[in-house]
Amino acid sequence: MEKREKLERNQIAVYAAALIVGIAAGLLSEPFGKGIEAWISPLLAVLLYGMFTMIPFLELRRALANGRFIAALLLTNFVFVPSVVWGLLKLFPQPEAVTVGVCLVLLTPCIDYVIVFAAMGKGDGKSMAAATPVLFIAQIIMLPIYLRLFAGGQAAALMEVGPFVEAFLTLIALPLAAAVLTQLWAKTGAAHVGAGQAGASESAARQSGSANIGTRVLEAAAWIPVPLMALVLIAVSASQIGRIASDPLPVLRVLPIYVLFLLLMPPLARLAGRLLRLDAGHGRALIFSSFTRNSLVVLPLALALPGEAADVAAAVIVAQTLTELVGELAYVRAVPKLLWRDKGRSVDT
């Protein structure tokens, strides 16, 4: 457990190293970049399964009990964020494929590594973890609506229904279902273990030992996200860097949007937290949720776009990941020291 927590604490460095390796490999060997692109979808499927196993879907009732924090998350991510994205796209209009990529990534709040970053920034990581099912369900419902409103009819037409649905089912729905089944298996296993300990019979002990496999699988799955995220970043950056280098304009055009988004969302999240009278731990977690986006979860949807639109949207999403990692490094220190000070109260991380 301590080794895994240490790995998670150092994940920014791991991801930065992965991006450097991927970029270097893609620039040095174009065949390697093209060849590794076929691995993106399988790696993403495994990564998302690992991420989804860490989201407490079976504890949705507990998440909803923290009403003010949930309200602040929904207000920030589904009112303030869309308003900011709409304004930035009006200020910096983009071609259709770029607009779709920007909307996919900026309108979906992170549901995985934001938990670790929030804790590193002295926010309430436990409450952030409990709230992730709500954020995931809300973004699945709202994303099609936002795409239609923000990208417009022509841009939305790029998303052909067949490939889009196939990508969603194979790379999001199936890993999600497998993760929920694993959680149910582990929960059933824990109940059987308790029954086996309470019962004196040999058969009860055998039953509890067999059922405990689900718990072990769930524990093993917790090791997946960081190393698989690194592999995905290597594959994505290696496969996309050649296209970015040959035509950097789409990425250069969206960088002002990403930088301004990183600068605007933390103070707006702080405002939402103050309005709903959150304490320091919840307020800091809210700030991290406001600018940490679901880039790799929506990447399969970008790759399902037709033709060159997929390449452009994927490159735009990779650019957001790079920009966000820089922002995380800054905000891990700035949030507790500048944006939301402790005022003498302890923070539950």
Average pLDDT over residues 151-174: 72
Rg from Cα positions in the chain: 21
Residue ranges making up the domain that contains 264: 2-335
For the chain, give the percent of residues with pLDDT over 90.
Answer: 32
Give domain status of residue 71, yes or no: yes
Q: Considering only residues 157 and 84, tell me which one the structure prediction assigns the higher pLDDT.
A: 84
Residue type, 266: P
Question: Residues 269, 292: contact at Cβ < 8 Å?
Answer: no
What CATH number is associated with residue 51?
A: 1.20.1530.20
Residue type, 215: T
347 pLDDT more than 60: no
pLDDT for the residue 156: 62
Give domain status of residue 340, yes or no: no
Give domain status of residue 341, yes or no: no
Give domain status of residue 295, yes or no: yes
166 pLDDT more than 90: no
Q: Which long-range contacts (CB under 8 A, 24 or more apart) does 70-74 make?
A: 70/131, 70/134, 71/276, 72/269, 72/272, 72/273, 72/275, 72/276, 72/278, 72/282, 72/286, 73/109, 73/131, 73/134, 73/135, 73/286, 73/289, 74/134, 74/138
Mean pLDDT of the chain: 84
Q: What is the pLDDT of residues 310-336, one digit of tens each?
A: 888 888 998 998 899 889 889 998 999
203 Cβ partners below 8 Å, 6+ apart?
none
Give domain status of residue 289, yes or no: yes
CA distances from 68 to 115, 128, 275, 279 (A): 18, 13, 10, 10
Give domain status of residue 344, yes or no: no
CA distances from 143 to 55, 75, 107, 259 (A): 20, 15, 7, 22
Q: What is the pLDDT of residues 172-209, one digit of tens each?
A: 788 888 988 998 988 886 665 555 555 555 555 555 55
pLDDT bracket for residue 348 (50, 70, 90): very low
35-49, 164-178, 335-349: segment of lowest average pLDDT? 335-349
Average pLDDT over residues 272-286: 95
Domain count of the fold of the chain: 1
Q: Cα–chain-centroid distance for residue 228?
A: 13
171-180, 216-225, 286-295, 337-346: segment of lowest average pLDDT? 337-346
Q: How far apart are CA 347 and CA 337, in angstroms?
A: 13
Give domain status of residue 342, yes or no: no
Residue type, 293: R
pLDDT for the residue 80: 97
98-112, 197-211, 303-317: segment of lowest average pLDDT? 197-211
Average pLDDT over residues 83-103: 93
Q: Cα–chain-centroid distance for residue 213?
A: 28
175 Cβ partners below 8 Å, 6+ apart?
45, 46, 48, 49, 52
Average pLDDT over residues 293-299: 84
pLDDT for the residue 260: 97
Residue 119: CA count within 13 A, CB half-sphere? 16
pLDDT for the residue 218: 87
220 Cβ partners below 8 Å, 6+ apart?
none
277 pLDDT more than 70: yes
Average pLDDT over residues 345-349: 41
Q: How many angstroms separate the first and last alpha carbons of the chain?
A: 16
62 pLDDT more than 80: no
Give domain status of residue 94, yes or no: yes
